[in-house]
Amino acid sequence: MRALEDLTFDNSYSRLPEVFYQRVNPMPFPNPHLVSFNPAAAELIDLNPGEALRTEFADFFSGARLLTGSEPLAMLYSGHQFGHYVPQLGDGRAILLGEVRNQKGEKWDLHLKGAGLTRYSRDGDGRAVLRSTIREYLCGEALHGLGIPTTRSLCIITGEEIVLRELPEPGAMLVRMAPSHVRFGNFEVFFYRRQHDNLKILADHVIQHHYPHLIKAKNRYARLLHEVAVRTGELIAQWQAAGWAHGVMNTDNMSILGLTLDYGPYGFMEEFDPSFICNHSDHHGRYSFQNQPDIGYWNIRALGQALSPLIEKDDVVKAPEIYEKAMIERYSELMRGKLGLVESHAGDDKLVTDLLNLMHSSRVDYTSFFRSLNEFQVNSDEPSSALRDQFIHREALDDWVARYWERLLAEKSQDEERKARMNRVNPKYVLRNHLAQKAISQATQHQDYSEIDRLLNLLSDPFIERSGMDEYAAPPPPGSAQIIVSCSS
């Protein structure tokens, strides 16, 4: 394991022409200090966890000092925001400190969010607040714990700086990690500027560093689009199966690697509702839970258009269909797994759809129901009272259970083996908004960061039941206020 000064940087993005970015140093906080440190993320770059105990650690990750080999820059991109093209966006409050190569040869961006003003900040202040960094820090690790591709987070740093949002709030910085932070919007900016040479340079960079098996492919740019479409389709299928909504699926928030990127007003569904909107700024529900698969289709079409100078028209047209096929197949597979089904039978999709309709009409908690379904016994064709009591329309549930029982019998399902499998795909714990809010309140009001670390540990493996942690698996307490989440979150 390495000390901070011994990290090995290999800054490939900084070797691109300077039209791709602005070289800019972070703006440090006064008196920075560590809020939380993630040893699992540190392991990805061979960083000794003991380094977080050093007083210099907060200096390095608040901009007061630069790591040896770091070449900070803010990336240029554009994108479609709520369906409308915005010609220039870019890293308005984040700075790529550099790319660290670990001993396995893997490369990880160290991206400092909340690092201060860049030329892409527009009317913003370049800062993040403690509230939003806690939400991103926890949810990135929560999705990773669920097996969903995502950016990771190394740490949160705060300092003596107040940031104005709806109200004054403590500022903070988040060190975000990913093999790359290239987005669909990085390609869009050069397409709409008609800088097709730069478009090709970027595509070659992404292929060389992240899709090297395509370097010698005859139609490598079309193959790149194909693979991004598949990865994106599978990613959104995983969101849907987990009951999770991103909230702002703009093309500048879509990763070229198929990672979950840019956590803002996200939300895990509690009572199942297909029209669930987690962003109170989304007045028309464009990014509602049920619309996410269609928005993924729309975004792949936008990426295909951006790559159109490099590929044939037919490949552009096919890309959304490739996405859709991958998304549907993966979602069907995941939902069969949540029901404990191993084989694929005709009628499985309808079995899932009918269950979700019942859950919607009875306002059943999504995560709790699937976790409790593991108790179903094939030697009894009747649901347990604990399962039945979650539903208002119990007779309708009984009809569905009879079909489910027959389906389990058809593949000779064994109760104990099925329960073990279901417990590996249906989490006991998810990052419910009231849990995140508890951690945020303790941190912002009392400078007590213990709840952040408790949740980080719990969500690192959300499938294992922990003694004394029942309250973390429960739906929000009755009468608790609805938590409003916006893009500033």
Residues designated catalytic: 252
Q: Compute how many other C-beta atoms are within 10 angstroms of the C-beta atom of residue 14.
A: 18
